[in-house]
Amino acid sequence: MRLLVSVVSAEEARRALAGGADIIDVKDPGEGALGAPAPRVLSEVVRAVGAAAPVSVALGDLPGLPHTAALAAHGAALSGARYVKVGLRGVRELDGAVEVMRAVTDALGTETAAIAAAYADADALDPPALPPACLPELVHRAGISGALVDTFLKDGRGLYSWLSESELGELIARTRNQGASFGVAGQLTRGQLRRVAADVVGVRSAVCRGGDRAGELDIELVAAAAAELHGRNQPGSIRVPTGWVGPGLRTTTVTPVRRTASGK
């Protein structure tokens, strides 16, 4: 499992790296659950992180407009993002989601992977969004690298208020059977990071002071989240995958250190 930490600035990215984040994710919480950051912020984070960790970016809680999503993805790839997360807010049917994700994939180069994001609370939204149960088939039909379940509503009801461990476990298994990875996020709290065996676990509020996703990211909270997520590894070493990808791919053993943007 890899720890994805969402940041809003280059300075927060440096703190997240020092705390032990495996993936640096860039977003703007003020623009929504998967709010897109300003292009300048993404570029600054990519420069600050360098080769120390892969950078992902949220493209927004998008409408069902394939070309809009594709253009956003293309710009993010040119800015150096390794992964683009596409919030499928304006799509209800699987066919529409496939069209959006295929357009995104076509807009990306070989160095950037597309991640489809559905919302655990999709049926509670008005209008409803794509059900998370569609993600494994979406991954298969669109030929994308992975899927993510998040929550759209940020009202204190986290991921496990909407989906059970067994439901998430089935989604993870079905997605991996398609050769892709699966991530979980959505106001996860301490003690919940290992409840399911996802490939990627994303946090924002859990590593911000006061549990406020709009608050300041705290390096010690990142370190605590990293320790929890990797807690079952042998002391002194962590086995992590070399990319945000599915099972069966290479892993590497590393000694946990307080990393910096220089990679040292």
Contact indicator for 19, 53 with CB cutoff of 8 Å = no
Give the whole-angstrom CA distance, residue 146 versus residue 157: 24
Mind telling me the catalytic residues?
Answer: 27, 85
Q: Record the tokens describing residue 214, joined without a space.
A: 């709009």
Number of Cα atoms under 13 Å in the Cβ half of residue 171:
27
Give the whole-angstrom CA distance, residue 39 versus residue 77: 11
Degrees, nearest 5: CA angle 7-8-11: 80
Q: Which of 181, 180, 206 is CA-nearest to residue 193? A: 206
Q: Any idea what DSSP says for residue 217?
A: B
Q: Record the tokens describing residue 75, joined without a space.
A: 């710009």
Instruction: Report phi then psi at 211, rounded to 5.
Output: 70, 20
Contact indicator for 56, 22 with CB cutoff of 8 Å = no
Does residue 249 sit in helix, strand or coil? coil
